[in-house]
Chains A and B, each alone.
Chain A
């Protein structure tokens, strides 16, 4: 018998608490696969956020640190600066990264911190029960925008990749989704490029995942995937946003 599929070594053999239809599980797996493929599990330190992925340290089989809300890029900076040989990644949601941690992410990117950020954008605060996020779409209903997000009142959603790609320290920025096998494959390539950017010492790297929240969106898992494709990917176009300019 030939084994053709197995759990990556960087992923722990435990059940997760994620809701049915949530794509955190796929994203965790992609990261673990890339860590394995690059052979850096024993050098890797992950940083989990405050949000649905707060317990990510239970799900990865590598060293992990739990950060306070939004501060993961600052914590990652401290680890990487103190221990430059470590491979450091943060795993952050939209409330964590684009709202309370907006300052930390902008400055980590502008400094060109040699860290990798996995940004999971599902346009809502999942863990706290479905409140409006900085990435909630105009018109989208949440528990704190019950009539739909009105940009006149609640402002406009933040496009993180576009914002960060203007900074010279941002060496690799990409937005992906995992709504189809083809998108999963593209997402995996982006995660690998992001980690390689760090390993090559080129600077800051970030991969934004458009993700689902069937529970708080009030959708079935299949409807949620379709909503990512039809609504989110329109406001948040997929693709690579910046690359380190070729030298010479």
Chain B
């Protein structure tokens, strides 16, 4: 084990990016993620990298598109309303197959919403967000350490698949301080060289980066090729964690910050003799459908907990079908569920179901 340092989630994500070789950052101020661009503005010049505060999220995300075209490891970060503005560039980058990392420190919506943590951007992150048939790899860390580890890995995954990768955090995770080990990880050795990058056609035919296919037959072919890639991602990049699901009568399903609260509720339930387990999706796209079905196979009930009015619960229902009741408990608008509220719901379900 290396030395642990106490870091705020937002600053940890910035340093993790730099340790992963990110040398370009473009962003626009928005609460609750401002520590990231502030950190980058100090740190990037020290490592010979680029920090640029864009005039808007629209421009910033298109700067990311440009830097990715040049073959750079590039990141932008924002929070919900800003991520909405970035959907144009995200769709173009998915279409043009450009690697980048986008961090969403989610706040409550819709509209200007609020600045407290929420999970109400799950649909946007995992079901498209922008226009067209595409997917992002979406990772939902639940601790500052995991935020660091997944951010570092995200750069490799982006380069491996030539696809934008999104880290879906929230204001609570971004603002909390936790001890974290900054384990520097070199880029994966098997990453494909960026022979497609537009760095000048010196001694080679020109490279063109575009998402335009005016011939519908060619666009369909392009989309089908992308679909093959998404299929590969779905087969190889599923991540999840389970806790005490083996004997569980009730399996809680929660990701990110909510999974920590669910874990506290689980501990209290176990103290009362209730057999409760926790299934925590880490990759939100691809969603761990099969692993969830397996983990919940012996349970009588599944309770999904989110800081939203019910978004991931739709994927849980897809995973489990009609095999067992899928219950939902959510708080929204920047409110978070308490362990007590979750425990009360567990007790209700057990009493009603018995």
Q: Are A68 and B67 in contact (CB under 8 A)?
A: no
With A71-B58, A81-B50, A107-B55 known to touch, is A76 a contact of B210 (CB < 8 Å)? no
Contacts of B350 in A (CB 8 A): none
With A54-B212, A78-B69 known to touch, is A63 a contact of B200 (CB < 8 Å)? yes
5 additional contacts (CB under 8 A) given A42-B201, A66-B211, A83-B71: A60-B206, A65-B69, A71-B62, A103-B56, A103-B58
9 closest cross-chain pairs (CB), A and B:
A78-B66, A66-B210, A74-B62, A78-B63, A42-B202, A82-B70, A82-B72, A63-B198, A75-B66
Contacts of A76 in B (CB 8 A): 66
Say yes or no for B199: interface residue by CB 8 A criterion: yes
Nearest Cβ in chain B — how far from A58, in angstroms?
8
Say yes or no for B92: interface residue by CB 8 A criterion: yes
Q: Are B201 and A75 in contact (CB under 8 A)?
A: no
Interface centre among B50, B63, B71 (most CB of A within 10 A): B63
Q: Are A77 and B66 in contact (CB under 8 A)?
A: yes
Say yes or no for A61: interface residue by CB 8 A criterion: yes
- B interface bracket (residues with beta carbon within 8 Å of A): 35 or more
Say yes or no for A57: interface residue by CB 8 A criterion: yes
Say yes or no for A44: interface residue by CB 8 A criterion: yes
A106 vs B55: C-alpha distance when bound (angstroms): 10
With A54-B212, A68-B89 known to touch, is A78 a contact of B200 (CB < 8 Å)? no
With A64-B209, A86-B70 known to touch, is A78 a contact of B26 (CB < 8 Å)? yes
- Residues A96-112 near B (CB distance < 8 A): 103-104, 106-107
Q: Are B198 and A81 in contact (CB under 8 A)?
A: no
Say yes or no for B216: interface residue by CB 8 A criterion: no
Residues of B that sit less than 8 Å from A by CB: 23-24, 26, 50, 52, 54-56, 58-60, 62-72, 74, 88-89, 92, 96, 198-203, 206-212
Say yes or no for A43: interface residue by CB 8 A criterion: yes
Say yes or no for A45: interface residue by CB 8 A criterion: yes
- Residues A187-222 near B (CB distance < 8 A): none
- A interface bracket (residues with beta carbon within 8 Å of B): 35 or more
Contacts of B59 in A (CB 8 A): 71, 74, 77, 103-104, 107
Say yes or no for A22: interface residue by CB 8 A criterion: no
Q: Are A75 and B65 in contact (CB under 8 A)?
A: yes
Q: Are B69 and A79 in contact (CB under 8 A)?
A: yes
Say yes or no for A176: interface residue by CB 8 A criterion: no
Say yes or no for A133: interface residue by CB 8 A criterion: no
28 contacts between A and B (CB under 8 A): A41-B201, A42-B202, A45-B70, A45-B198, A45-B199, A57-B210, A60-B206, A62-B200, A63-B206, A65-B66, A66-B208, A71-B58, A71-B62, A74-B65, A74-B66, A75-B63, A78-B65, A78-B67, A81-B24, A81-B63, A81-B67, A82-B23, A83-B71, A86-B199, A103-B59, A104-B58, A104-B62, A107-B59
